[in-house]
Amino acid sequence: MIRPIMSGLGLDSLGDLSDLLNQPVMDGKTNGPLQLSLDLIDEDPNQPRHADNPGFSKESLAELAETIEDRGVKSPISVREHPKIEGRYIINHGARRYRASRIAGKDSIPAFIDNDYSEADQVIENLQRNELTAREIADFIGRELAKGKKKSEIAREIGKSPAFVTQHVVLLDLPDPIAIAFNTGRANDVTVINELVKDYKKNPEEVRLWLADDSQELTRGSVKMLHEFLEDKRMHDAGEVNDSNTVDTLPRKTDAETGESEQGQKSSDAKKIVKLDDPEKLKKAIIHVNHDGRLARLILTRRPPADGWAWLKYEDDGHEFEAELTTVQLVALLEG
């Protein structure tokens, strides 16, 4: 009797066993994370979070280390292969878990290798977790601008609006009084900082004195009040130029008529000109648009920074900012 040949069971079908021995251990789980030695991992020197980030504080890391000591690291970190040192890895995301694991006395950490990872990816992930400070975001944008990238390109990469990028660019070159308030943590709201910068450009001394009062809270409301005060002061100092169609109380003539009368171009008994409203014309046009899911209006009295751009004002909080017109959607045309 001829025995049948049992194909596929011979040792020759296993190939070179040495190849199997050289494969990384997957912690007993198919497609699971590697258990990497902490001594083989380096932190990214260009990671977006700075040493003074609240997540890197001694207290915050101690809390996380206590959890890791009891329960281990449940969410693997992400690493990429070191481009210059074979066998070593650089952290993509998970620096807090890495640092806390060392504090907890761990020798290894679960990790996934992802070589397709960029600094923009790190920023996106931290933005989604709200783990980046305004300064860290601004520093990243500054590095990207130094590479020759445009604001709109950076905004697209990190999933934010051009206005978001523009607001943070302002943080890179602040006037000294505002820089002190920002760097000391007295003012962390990017909108507040931007509004202060705008007022400082027109009234540097007044803003400097206002900031010198340490008891002054720096909120959107207080900065708005400062802005209104400075605008009233500016109009008062300028003598308030009246609209040519307003009527003087005593002479009962329009300002335009009064001016012409003073120049001898009209007789002193000139009659007041009454203009009838045209029902087909808007007295004051208000254009409502949608921007980033929020209702805003176009500021028609402020010169745009470039073609294709305009100044907008959010209806909910009154914040004014620049935006590309391609990022807004027309909602309504109203009469003010």
Residue 201: give its domain's CATH number. 1.10.10.730
In this prediction, residue 283 carries a pLDDT of 62
Asked if residue 104 and residue 68 are part of one domain, the reply reads yes
Q: What is the mean pLDDT of residues 87-104?
A: 90
Q: Which of 152-161, 210-219, 280-289 has the highest mean pLDDT?
A: 210-219
User: Which residues are registered as beta bridge partners of 296?
Assistant: 289, 314
End-of-domain residue from the set 198, 216, 234: 216
Asked if residue 99 and residue 66 are part of one domain, the reply reads yes
Report the chain's mean pLDDT, rounded to a whole number: 76
More confident residue, 67 or 262: 67
* pLDDT tens per residue, range 168-182: 999 999 999 999 999
Using the predicted structure, report yes or no on whether residue 212 has a pLDDT greater than 50. Answer: yes
In this prediction, residue 188 carries a pLDDT of 85
Locate all alpha helices (DSSP H) within the chain, ordered by sequence.
17-21, 58-71, 95-103, 119-128, 134-146, 151-158, 162-169, 176-183, 190-202, 204-212, 220-237, 255-262
More confident residue, 239 or 41: 41
Using the predicted structure, report yes or no on whether residue 8 has a pLDDT greater than 70. Answer: no
H-helix or E-strand spanning residue 309: strand 309-314
In this prediction, residue 27 carries a pLDDT of 41
In this prediction, residue 238 carries a pLDDT of 74
End-of-domain residue from the set 183, 216, 249: 216
Q: Which two tokens stand for residue 238?
A: 């300028």
Residue pointed to by tokens 């990190």:
158
Q: Any idea what the CATH number is for the domain that residue 36 is in?
A: 3.90.1530.30
- HSE-CB at 227 with a 13 A cutoff on CA atoms is 19
Q: Does 8 reside within a domain?
A: no
Total count of domains within the chain: 3
In this prediction, residue 23 carries a pLDDT of 42
Give the strand pairing for 309-314 and 320-324. Answer: antiparallel
Q: How confident is the model at residue 128 (pLDDT cuts 50, 70, 90)?
A: low
More confident residue, 194 or 125: 194
Using the predicted structure, report yes or no on whether residue 285 has a pLDDT greater than 70. Answer: yes
Give the strand pairing for 77-81 and 108-113. Answer: parallel
Backbone φ, ψ for residue 142 (5° rounding): -60, -40
Domain containing 96 equals 29-122
Which burial class, exposed, middle or buried, applies to 320 when counting CB atoms under 10 A from its CB (0-12, 13-18, 19+)? middle
In this prediction, residue 7 carries a pLDDT of 42
Q: What is the mean pLDDT of residues 133-160?
A: 87
Asked if residue 89 and residue 40 are part of one domain, the reply reads yes
Asked if residue 192 and residue 161 are part of one domain, the reply reads yes
Q: Does 96 reside within a domain?
A: yes
5-9, 177-181, 212-216, range with the lowest pLDDT: 5-9
Asked if residue 117 and residue 36 are part of one domain, the reply reads yes
Q: What is the mean pLDDT of residues 104-132?
A: 76
CB atoms within 10 A of CB 62: 12
Q: Which two tokens stand for residue 174?
A: 């602040």
Q: How confident is the model at residue 105 (pLDDT cuts 50, 70, 90)?
A: very high
Residue pointed to by tokens 């000109």:
273
Q: What is the mean pLDDT of residues 128-156?
A: 83
pTM across the whole model: 0.41
Give the strand pairing for 328-335 and 108-113. Answer: unpaired
Using the predicted structure, report yes or no on whether residue 141 has a pLDDT greater than 80. Answer: yes
Q: How many helices (H) and strands (E) does the chain have?
A: 12, 10
Using the predicted structure, report yes or no on whether residue 273 has a pLDDT greater than 70. Answer: no
CB atoms within 10 A of CB 325: 14
End-of-domain residue from the set 60, 93, 122: 122
Q: Does 98 reside within a domain?
A: yes
Q: What is the mean pLDDT of residues 180-205?
A: 91
Q: Does 168 reside within a domain?
A: yes
What type of residue is 130? N
What type of residue is 181? A
Q: Does 211 reside within a domain?
A: yes
Q: Which two tokens stand for residue 133?
A: 């400070």
36-40, 100-104, 275-279, range with the lowest pLDDT: 275-279
Q: How far apart are CA 105 and CA 32, in angstroms?
A: 23
Asked if residue 117 and residue 152 are part of one domain, the reply reads no
Q: How far apart are CA 69 and CA 25, in angstroms?
A: 23
Using the predicted structure, report yes or no on whether residue 101 has a pLDDT greater than 60. Answer: yes
